[in-house]
Amino acid sequence: MKKVLLTGLSLLLMVALFASCAAPGAVSGDEIKIGVNYELSGGVATYGQSSVDGIELAIKQINDEGGVDGKRITLIKYDNKSEPQEATTLANKLITQDKVIAILGPATSGSFMSQIPVAEKNKVPVASGSATADEVTVDASGLKEYAFRICFSDSYQGTAMANYALNNLSKEKAVVIMDTSSDYGKGLADNFIKTFEDAGGTIVAKESYVEGDTDFNAILTSIKGKEFDVIFIPGYYEEAGLIIKQARAQDIDVPILGADGFDSPELVNLAGADALNDVFFSNHYSSLDEDPLVVQFIEDFKAEYNREPDAFNALGYDLAKFVVDGLNRAEKLDRESLKNALEATENFEGVTGSFSIDENHNPVKAIVVIELKDGEQHSSERVTQ
């Protein structure tokens, strides 16, 4: 009798140990933990905080509606300080100590990619709403099996904006002023230039700057005497706002194009509303969209935060909904089942558009081009490459 009891206890312990090893991050009790690894301070905190505001609204709504299979979602939130190394450290903490089922964020490509080796090693799904670098989900070594994103890539944005300049604005001679200190800027520039030239356009000049530059007058003076009808600025709002301000001050009044890095309330503070006319940028979302999902999201966001949502708010919101949609479709509430469900996503309906996930873990979706007038969004349209 005593021998049988000891054997039974040993067997139970072995089963428990095997379960914990075989299904790390599996959900038990009435809680599902999801990690939030975002830039809440530092150079790109505006992107991170906006994304997290959207995430938190989505999770609040999901929990109010009963959660997932009766279990509440608990967010474990950390600030990576806009530093890729810190993002890696926090990802490891979220996975090994907090035992989250998945990680949302970071917002930027560099920080998001820095945590992927940790995620791959531990087989934990990680997903970003705004990491646009082409190699985020697949590179020369192959598919990053546990990495997902719900935004389009830099190459898609660069290609789309080149076609927009040529086909929608009828522009044929472009100047490119690029951020050469970031993969984001270089990726956008390369694809814009290739698409523009392949379609018969001419790149009149290619100028460069690096993160933190504030005086662009020498660059603008050098291009002012050239013949061009559009400027493309692949970079973030911090420098783009100053470039636009200084360009308009030098009476350079051609249309200025950019990408989603323009999308920050700080752009108008840096450039001034008067300078932000005839400015167009690609984005994931516009508050001008009359889709019922968008209208409801704006209403809900205003009720929660008392302000108009931006694209990063919308992307954070959709990201949380995307992962929870995967949890609802997963065979089991564990990391591997969630990864499989995210891979199988089809026709997800979000406020940034509907999409399916392709074989490279990228969304198949349209792009939004927004026009600014006096610093305000004046019009938007969805376009494809």
Comparing 31-152+290-365 with 155-283, is the CATH topology the same?
yes
Domain boundaries, the chain: 31-152+290-365, 155-283
More confident residue, 57 or 9: 57
Alpha helices in 217-286 (DSSP H): 217-224, 237-249, 266-271
Contact between 233 and 263 under an 8 Å Cβ cutoff? The reply is no
Per-residue pLDDT of 279-306, as tens digits, reads 999 998 888 888 899 999 999 999 999 9
Tell me what the mean pLDDT of segment 208-226 comes to.
96
Tell me what the mean pLDDT of segment 179-206 comes to.
94
Token pair of 166, please?
A: 């040529």
More confident residue, 154 or 364: 364
Residue percentage of the chain with pLDDT more than 70: 92
Of the CA atoms within 13 Å of residue 156, those in its CB half-sphere come to: 22
Instruction: Could you please state the CATH topology (level 3) that the domain comprising 155-283 is classified under.
Output: Rossmann fold (3.40.50)
Tell me what the mean pLDDT of segment 41-46 comes to.
92
pLDDT at 99: 96
Q: Is the pLDDT of residue 13 over 90?
A: no
Q: Of 91-95, 184-188, 289-293, which has the strongest mean pLDDT?
A: 91-95
Banded pLDDT at 154 (limits 50, 70, 90):
confident
Give dist(CA 134, CA 120) in Å, integer: 18
Question: Does the 31-152+290-365 domain belong in CATH 3.40.50.2300?
Answer: yes
SS3 assignment, position 27? coil
Tell me what the mean pLDDT of segment 151-163 comes to.
91
Which residues have C-beta within 8 Å of that of residue 164, sequence separation ≥ 6? 257, 280, 282, 369, 383
Token pair 């038990």 in the structure block, residue: 28
Give dist(CA 81, CA 86) in Å, integer: 7
pLDDT at 4: 36
Mean pLDDT estimate for the chain? 91
Beta bridge partners of 143: 138
Give dist(CA 326, CA 202) in Å, integer: 45
Per-residue pLDDT of 249-284, as tens digits, reads 999 999 999 998 898 889 999 999 999 999 999 998
pLDDT at 1: 35
Banded pLDDT at 132 (limits 50, 70, 90):
confident
Tell me what the mean pLDDT of segment 214-218 comes to.
97
Residue percentage of the chain with pLDDT more than 90: 82
Banded pLDDT at 385 (limits 50, 70, 90):
low
Q: Is the pLDDT of residue 5 over 60?
A: no
Per-residue pLDDT of 308-327, as tens digits, reads 999 899 999 999 999 999 99
Tell me what the mean pLDDT of segment 344-360 comes to.
95
**End-to-end alpha-carbon separation of the chain, Å?**
74
Amino acid found at 94: L
Banded pLDDT at 28 (limits 50, 70, 90):
low
Tell me what the mean pLDDT of segment 143-158 comes to.
93
Q: Is the pLDDT of residue 22 over 70?
A: no
Q: Is the pLDDT of residue 10 over 80?
A: no
CA-nearest of 88, 87, 62, 86 to 74 is 62
SS3 assignment, position 188? helix
CA 172 from chain centre, in angstroms, equals: 30
Beta bridge partners of 257: 232, 280
CA-nearest of 299, 301, 290, 266 to 381 is 290
Q: How far is CA 267 from CA 68, 138, 235, 271, 372, in A?
A: 39, 31, 12, 6, 11
pLDDT at 182: 87
Output Rg (C-alpha) for the chain, integer angstroms: 23
Q: Is 142 left (phi over 0), alpha (psi -120 to 50) or beta?
A: left
CA 141 from chain centre, in angstroms, equals: 23
Q: Is the pLDDT of residue 363 over 90?
A: yes
pLDDT at 172: 97
The DSSP secondary structure of 77-115, one letter per residue, reads EEE-TT-HHHHHHHHHHHHHTS--SEEE--SSHHHHHHH
